[in-house]
Every structure is written in C-alpha cells, then in structure tokens.
C-alpha cells in the first residue's frame, strides 16, 4: 500500500485554486508572517461592525490559528461565537476566504469539501494579509452570510499599510 501525505489544507487549496482569481495566486500562496497582535486585531475588527450597526461576533486568529481577539455585540446570538471562530480558523488554514469553499460546494457540487477537517463553508472568514504574508484571519458571524463577508472583508482594509 502506498502512503500519501496530503494535508487537508493542501487538498482544499488544490481544489479551490481554480475558482480564485489568478492574480491572487500568481506568485503562489502567501507565506505565513508574524502573528497579528491583539491591539491590531481589535483595530481591524470593531470599526466596520459598528459602522454598519450590526449585531455580531468578530473573532480574529493569529497566523497559528490561535484566538487573539473576540468581541460579541450584546444582541448577537451565543451561537455566533463558535461560528466566527470557525470561519477565522478556516480562512487562516486555507489562506483563502471561506466564501471560496462555500462556492465550490454550492456551484461546483464539491460536497466532498464538507469532510475536510476545519473547513467552514460559509461566507464570513477572510485571511489577513499584510506585505504578502498571512498574519491571521478574521471571522464574522451574526448576519446573513453576505453581511458577515462584508464586515470581515472590510475589516481587513484597516490593516493595509
């Protein structure tokens, strides 16, 4: 029997790459960089959620997928906590927004992705990329998936130099 060493991240990335714009991966997947700090994470997360006046949970993980920041609005459901953390960890693990996984399942029938450990196939998880290095990821939960994605994506803009 031949042994194959294919990690879930590599497998998911190989399946997902064709659906991501070529410019994003023209130089290959960005490497992991120095982890995001809690102070910088808070700066990135809260402004957009408050600007849109959305009741949700924001979770930020560092480049090692360790939770560094979590904020839940008073009216956000308790279930949004695990969802936000899951989205952030998945986006960090595959270095790609979780919307890509969702699209692969819904548009391309790739239901096999549901079996990939750590895959979170719901919009709202976005990697935090600074100087072409993944320093962590943000997950937003509490709205409809498109709203979660909007907040997570907009939050990343606060990190650009």
Contact by Cβ (8 Å): 98, 91: yes
Question: 41: pLDDT confidence band, cut at 50, 70 and 90?
Answer: confident
pTM of the model: 0.78
Alpha carbons within 13 angstroms on the beta-carbon side of residue 23 total: 0
Say what percent of the chain tops pLDDT 70: 80
All structural domains of the chain, each given as residue ranges with its CATH number in brackets, are: 32-96+122-157 (3.30.450.150)
Is residue 119 pLDDT above 80, yes or no? yes
Please name the residues in contact with 32: beta carbons below 8 A apart, sequence gap of 6 or more: 63, 64, 133, 134, 135
């Amino acid at each position: 029997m031949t042994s194959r060493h294919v990690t879930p991240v590599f497998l998911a990335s190989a399946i997902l790459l064709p659906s991501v714009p070529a410019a994003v991966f023209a130089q290959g997947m960005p490497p992991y960089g120095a982890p995001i700090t809690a102070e910088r994470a808070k700066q990135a997360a809260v402004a957009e959620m408050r600007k849109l006046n959305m009741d949700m949970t924001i979770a930020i993980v560092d480049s090692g997928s360790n939770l560094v920041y979590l904020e839940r609005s008073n009216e956000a459901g308790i279930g949004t906590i695990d969802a936000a953390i899951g989205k952030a960890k998945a986006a960090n693990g595959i270095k790609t927004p979780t919307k890509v996984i969702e699209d692969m399942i819904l548009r391309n029938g790739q239901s096999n992705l549901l079996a990939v450990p750590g895959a979170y196939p719901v919009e709202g998880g976005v990697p935090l990329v600074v100087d072409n290095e993944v320093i962590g990821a943000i997950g937003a939960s509490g709205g409809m998936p498109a709203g979660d994605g909007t907040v997570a994506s907009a939050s990343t803009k606060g990190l650009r130099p």
